[in-house]
Structure 1
Amino acid sequence: MNLLNYRAAIFDLDGTLVISEPAWQAAKSSVSARFGHSVSSAFLGSHEGRNVTAFVDEVFDKYDDERRAEVVSEIKSEAWRLLPSELRPIPGAQEFVRALSQQGLRLAICSSSPSRNIDLSLKVAGIEDLFDIRVSADGMKRGKPHPAPYLGTLENLALPADQVIVFEDSLAGARSAVDAGLTTVGIGPNLPSEQFGFCAIQVPDYETLLSSMDPGRRLR
């Protein structure tokens, strides 16, 4: 897969460029308990890559809109308290992102996180200067796995789908990207996996991507 065939790359954030999911899961769990709901680790895992509103809508389906909005706000506030001390960059992410930028690809973020979390995460990862387009949960009418987030990011790039490549770590995010018509690379320590079989490529880490670039230009 020749990177010169692409004019832009879109990255998910949480789990793809930074490790932040533990903070989000802790926030969801503690706030849910505060409101009298217990959530399992498996259920929290099933919501990786999805926005907080989707989680609250499912767990607090008996609440009215106003009270669900209150829960969403509390989860975001708790996550924001935890994130500054818990955020970690994914190994190799900075080097790979900079390699793409040096090849002339435009870079965009499509994340289920709020805007301020995106800004903080990119700063922690040392790549805040490279992403001029940042699509966040704040502006999403429908979240991942619906294709709307990636379709919106594609619209911001003003490029056809066949000129853009996506990097995603979650099933919800990868499905969103593929259903938007985008070539999608699944990346994560548990890949390759049959669950991600619909992705064009599966790799366990950025080291694999970097080592397969020929020379700094090609993904095989």
Structure 2
Amino acid sequence: MKDLLNYRAAIFDLDGTLVISEPAWQAAKSSVSTRFGRSVTSAFLDSHEGRNVGAFVNEVFKKYDDDKRAKILSEIKSEAWRLLPSEIKPVPGAQEFVRALSKQGMRLAICSSSPARNIDLSLQIAGIEDLFDIRVSADGMKQGKPHPAPFLGTLETLGLTADQVIAFEDSLAGARSAVDAGLTTIAIGPHLPSEQFDFCAHQVSGYETLLSFLDQAPSFR
């Protein structure tokens, strides 16, 4: 049995887990898709939460050639970059929780589908950029979330094995990626608990619960 503070490191997803930024990404995807002749539903946008933008473009514009898809991808990223500075908000309790883990000596890493510059911006706005020296972006990876490659790459960068690390995710794609990489995974978000996330080790609705678990030193597995 291993409690939370016995892990050597924690890997966090970013969008939806530490910061609220998905509305900006969805707005960018929707507006650019419309501009290029495709409309996307809210349900479809939700289904791509936690996945990299390239996967979205490849699915929506699969009949377009590579150059056109590259242009669309670039425009979505540019539009999101324009929106994000005013749209990003920290998830309540996230800063307190990650600082508590850091004070206990845990190493902290980011594994996100967002581009690297968006990761840096989000951490800066959330006031926790000093805590994450390892920041892995799955943007541009051939195999993004839900494939385990992003988390396997983060483990390699950490130089640790999966049993030494715990992961925190809010999306199905991200949680599946972490679990399939062999990580004990905590699903977090106001949409939880949900049967869809039963494959995760634990589900919590917010950081208040995790902070109380820290005080009690509970066992997650």
Distance 1:61 1:138 in 2: 18
Instruction: Structure 1 unaligned segments of length 5 or more: list them.
Output: none
Does the 8 Å contact 1:56/1:71 carry over to 2?
yes
Does the 8 Å contact 1:188/1:203 carry over to 2?
yes
Distance 1:82 1:199 in 2: 32
**1:75-113, Cα deviation, whole Å (9 max, x unpaired):** 000000000001000000000000000111000000000
Q: What residue number does 1:20 align with?
A: 21
The residue type equivalent to 2:202 in the other structure is I
Does the 8 Å contact 1:209/1:219 carry over to 2?
no
**1:3-28, Cα deviation, whole Å (9 max, x unpaired):** 23200000000000000000000000
Q: What residue number does 2:87 align with?
A: 86
Offset at 1:145? Answer: 0.1
Q: What residue number does 2:191 align with?
A: 190
Offset at 1:219? Answer: 5.5
| Other structure's SS at 2:215 match | coil
The residue type equivalent to 1:5 in the other structure is N
Distance 1:219 1:33 in 2: 48
Distance 1:104 1:219 in 2: 18
Q: How does 1:42-57 map to 2 (within 5 A)?
A: 42-57=43-58
| Other structure's SS at 2:214 match | coil
The residue type equivalent to 2:17 in the other structure is T
Q: Identity across aligned pairs (percent)?
A: 81
The residue type equivalent to 2:8 in the other structure is R
Distance 1:2 1:120 in 2: 32
Does the 8 Å contact 1:96/1:210 carry over to 2?
yes
Assess, with a 3 A threshold, how the Cα gap between structure 1 residues 118 and 219 changes in structure 2: closer, same or farther.
Answer: farther
**TM-score between the two structures when normalised by the length of structure 1:** 0.97
Distance 2:124 2:218 in 1: 27
Offset at 1:139? Answer: 5.5
Higher mean alpha-carbon deviation, 46-55 vs 129-138, is at 129-138
Does the 8 Å contact 1:213/1:219 carry over to 2?
no
Assess, with a 3 A threshold, how the Cα gap between structure 1 residues 191 and 184 changes in structure 2: closer, same or farther.
Answer: same
Offset at 1:72? Answer: 0.4
RMSD between superposed Cα atoms in Å: 1.1
Distance 1:53 1:202 in 2: 29
Instruction: Structure 2 unaligned segments of length 5 or more: list them.
Output: none
Q: What residue number does 1:175 align with?
A: 176
Q: What residue number does 2:116 align with?
A: 115
Distance 1:175 1:66 in 2: 31
Distance 1:140 1:192 in 2: 30
Assess, with a 3 A threshold, how the Cα gap between structure 1 residues 139 and 55 changes in structure 2: closer, same or farther.
Answer: closer
**TM-score between the two structures when normalised by the length of structure 2:** 0.96
| Other structure's SS at 2:51 match | coil
Offset at 1:65? Answer: 1.1
* Structure 2 residue 216 is matched with structure 1 residue 207: no
